[in-house]
Structure 1
Amino acid sequence: MTQRNGTAATVRRIVLRATAVLATTALAAGCGVGDASEGAGPAPAPSADPKAALLAAVPTEQDPAFRFSAQDGTDRWIGVVDPAAKGIDLGMKQQNDDPKFTMDMTFRLIDENLWMRVKLTGIPGLHDMLKLPKTWMTVDRARLADASSVPVFQGADPGNTAAIIRTAETVEDRGDGTYTGLADLADNDDVKSTFDGVDLAALDAAGKKVPFTAVVGADGNLTSLTLDVPAAGKHKAMKLVTKYYDYGKAPRVAPPAGAKAAPSSAYEMLNG
């Protein structure tokens, strides 16, 4: 099944936009400066069809809840996926220099329901000044300028690893649960929305053969996928790393207790 999953990229855009909005508001108000285990035990035996074996290791809706992280250059997301509940927690931290503060934004989704929590540090009283509660807020998608700009549950593979693996003509089984291949990221609609921080068009021909390394744990589950993206345009060479771990050990994703309706200030921030 082809899946387009840009959940992490969507949150990156929201967080960066929200940070800019908060920084402008804080300046106007005159504010001053105020991983994971990848499994143990013997690795899977080499497969006669490495690509099929690797795709079979990608998490699906039948898997238990698990944790994940995604590293895109200097940006990092962390979260939990609960396929049975169609739920996901997704968080990202962003620092602002002028004025100096840190915003930690977390989204929780269960099917079509959406909650948000924002934690601001570095400037005393910033939450009160911006009229943003520190607790979970229920977000009404109807009040968003562009409802498609916020995350939705798009399946059990938030890093879109299956779509990336499918672009490879061949995959090699290196043994010890390690697989390598060349991903075709050029003009590929199935993976384009995954990489908000990468200029895929600037990769040109190099984008058709981007090296990747995947690791499958002893339990047969994918634990990591690393793309070695070459320098292109204004972007330096970088590693894009997705990790899945704690299968069956991560907490279930449930509606947050005590959540209150998001105030107008939250929608102003989200709508930019």
Structure 2
Amino acid sequence: MKSSRSLLLALALSGVITVTAACGDKKDDGAAAPATASATSAAPSSTADARTELANAFNKLNGTTMAYTTETATGAVATTKLNGSIDPSKQASSGKMTISAQGRNIDAEMIVVGTDVYLKVALPLPGVDPKKWMHVDGTKTSLSKLGLGNPDDPANVKGISDAIVTAERTGSGSYKGTVDLTKRNVPSTSAALLQQMGDAAKSVPFEATINSDGFLTSLTMNVPAAGQVPATTAKSTFTDFGKPVTIAKPADAETQAAPAALLAQFS
């Protein structure tokens, strides 16, 4: 089950440890990149003012449909690219992921609706039909055990505003600062890794951008190494705020229950 553990590691690194399920900059695919100005275009703001502006931008993501992209690089262990959409009102998210780990690429798709998780992984797993969606009943396990964040927060940005230690405006709509990750409510697996980071977890650098409507449009964090997990760079972008999103559970004929032996690997 080594490959399934690799999938878990990549999922966890993309959605739990790195705060962002982190999104890649979509400048190359036609999506409008958030406009930022140089650090000299606006006078630095006080930490209090910048923190308030950032908190407001984070909070605007709550309850808003959007598209997101993710790019996470965890040393030489794994890279993860994820893009998808979110409908917080329905506790739903979906995404397509490419994981590069142990010298191979793994493609995966996921749909989360409430406590129901559906995974389709291009990876030979015992007792799993790769053409069907593998269903995980979240009432019998937890999303955090699968390395997944809340369905309405796949980029895992909620609660960051409360963890900001320093913040300043570096330009029109651009910010930088540090966050104390120990102040966030994270799953026990993440908490253990944060403990291994030591004091470095209390001063993790970030950069962020906010658009003219006050939405957070990008977040980049450089998370320090934790035990055997190398330092991680996580980039996130958010677009298409308020646009219609359709996320539905797969038909019963297209699903299968996740094998108990596989779920045991995530305990």
The TM-score with structure 2 as length reference comes to 0.67
Shift of 1:181: 1.3
- Pairing partner for 1:107 from 102, 107, 110: 110
SS in 2 for 1:241: strand
Distance between the aligned counterparts of 1:104 and 1:242, measured in 2? 19
- Pairing partner for 2:79 from 72, 75, 79: 75
- Alignment check: 8 A CA contact 2:174 2:207 kept: yes
SS in 2 for 1:262: strand
Percent identity (aligned): 27
Unaligned runs of 5+ residues in structure 1 are: 1-11, 20-34, 121-125
> Does 66-75 or 166-175 show the bigger shift?
66-75
Shift of 1:172: 0.9
1:94-243 correspondence to structure 2 within 5 Å: 94-95=99-100, 102-120=105-123, 131-141=128-138, 146-147=141-142, 149-150=145-146, 154=150, 156-185=152-181, 187-188=182-183, 190-193=184-187, 196=190, 199-231=193-225, 233-243=227-237
Distance between the aligned counterparts of 2:171 and 2:152, measured in 1? 26
**May I ask how many residue pairs the two structures share in their alignment?**
233
CA offsets 1:202-261 (integer angstroms, 9 cap, x no match): 332232222211111233211221122345654544322232223245742222356534
Number of the residue aligned with 1:84:
89
Alignment-mate amino acid for residue 16 of structure 1: L
Distance between the aligned counterparts of 1:135 and 1:208, measured in 2? 42
| Cα RMSD for the two superposed structures | 4.0
Shift of 1:88: 0.9
Number of the residue aligned with 1:50:
50
Shift of 1:135: 3.0
Number of the residue aligned with 1:15:
7
Distance between the aligned counterparts of 1:16 and 1:157, measured in 2? 18
Unaligned runs of 5+ residues in structure 2 are: 12-24
Alignment-mate amino acid for residue 82 of structure 1: D
- Alignment check: 8 A CA contact 1:132 1:263 kept: no
- Pairing partner for 2:98 from 90, 93, 98: 93
Number of the residue aligned with 2:66:
65
Change beyond 3 A, Cα 1:153–1:165: closer
Distance between the aligned counterparts of 2:263 and 2:175, measured in 1? 40
Distance between the aligned counterparts of 1:257 and 1:95, measured in 2? 29
SS in 1 for 2:160: helix
- Alignment check: 8 A CA contact 2:206 2:220 kept: yes
